[in-house]
Chains A and B, each alone.
Chain A
Amino acid sequence: MKKFSAKVVVKMKPNIKDVKGLTLKRAVESFIPIENLSCNVGGYYFFKFSANNEIEALKTVEKIAREILSNEVIETYEIRTLEEIYE
């Protein structure tokens, strides 16, 4: 089997009220002069695992991201990287 590493970003859907993002926006605006600021707060997940090939690895990452890391009602996920590693 091959070893893979993956990085997944989860964030709120654009139409969902991101209250942490709004709070961060207010804090930044009170901290430094800045214009047209928008902030989103989400999660960044790293993991390593074994799979037979890249297609199987992608299916695994998608399943984890869709069913555990995010809730499709309020969040979206993005698989930032999926690469074979040698260690």
Chain B
Amino acid sequence: MNSLKVGIIVFLGTNCEQDTRRACEFFGWDAEYIRQDDKIEKKYDLIFIPGGFSYGDHISSGRIAKLSPAVKSLPVGKTMIVGICNGFQILCEAKLLSGALLDNQNIKFISKVADLDFCNEQISLPIAHHQGNYTDDNIDKNQILMTYQNNENGSDMSIAGIYDRKNKIIGMMPHPERAIWDELGLTDGRKVFEFVKNQI
């Protein structure tokens, strides 16, 4: 399976859809946008919920986006779904992933390159969020996909990303789509995209 059919959901306030699409194009995947108001009826191999500030983060990050027709019609368990940053927040708010994301422990927007442990490897990816402090009283340790080495935001168990293998849903706060191109100086995002592809 070389070329994947990828859908990228775009909400009012999403701002990482172009980076995500270009990252898909880097791998030769065929990506298209899905509008927030559209039901997902087409067959995709992979659906991204990209980062940004859906609906201005009003009430709480992802709280309004979870009500959109696109999220309500996600083909859970049938198609690989990956939420990045705001996408992770939306998946948690929609109860498609366990836990929730609170304000960062220092109550500041954190924008930096974070060192992470991912699949027995150390990688570096950009993070940029205000509510990335993951909490879950009943976390299944088998779901932990990546962790911060320096727990930048105060997450339980330094969790940066989780993976519900049963329903094929990944959520992560770091931005792998911003670490694809040599020109940007970081390319570890490729490892995450390759991992995602291997899970399909």
Question: Which stretch from B1-9, B37-45, B98-106 is at the chain A interface?
Answer: B98-106
Q: Is the CB of B135 within 8 A of A16?
A: yes
- Expressed in whole angstroms, the Cα–Cα distance for A39 and B93 within the complex equals 25
Q: Is the CB of A23 within 8 A of B107?
A: yes
Q: Is the CB of A17 within 8 A of B135?
A: yes
Chain B residues whose CB sits within 8 angstroms of the CB of A50 once the complex forms: none
Chain B residues whose CB sits within 8 angstroms of the CB of A23 once the complex forms: 107
* B window 119-155: CB within 8 A of A: 133, 135-137, 154
A60: CB under 8 A from chain B?
no
* Among candidates A19, A43, A69, A73, residue contacting B104 with C-beta atoms closer than 8 Å: A19
Residue of B nearest to A17 (CB): B102
Residue of B nearest to A71 (CB): B100
A28: CB under 8 A from chain B?
no
Q: Is the CB of A19 within 8 A of B100?
A: no
Chain B residues whose CB sits within 8 angstroms of the CB of A17 once the complex forms: 102, 105, 133, 135, 154
Binding site for B on A (CB under 8 A): 15-17, 19-20, 23, 43, 68-69, 71, 73-74
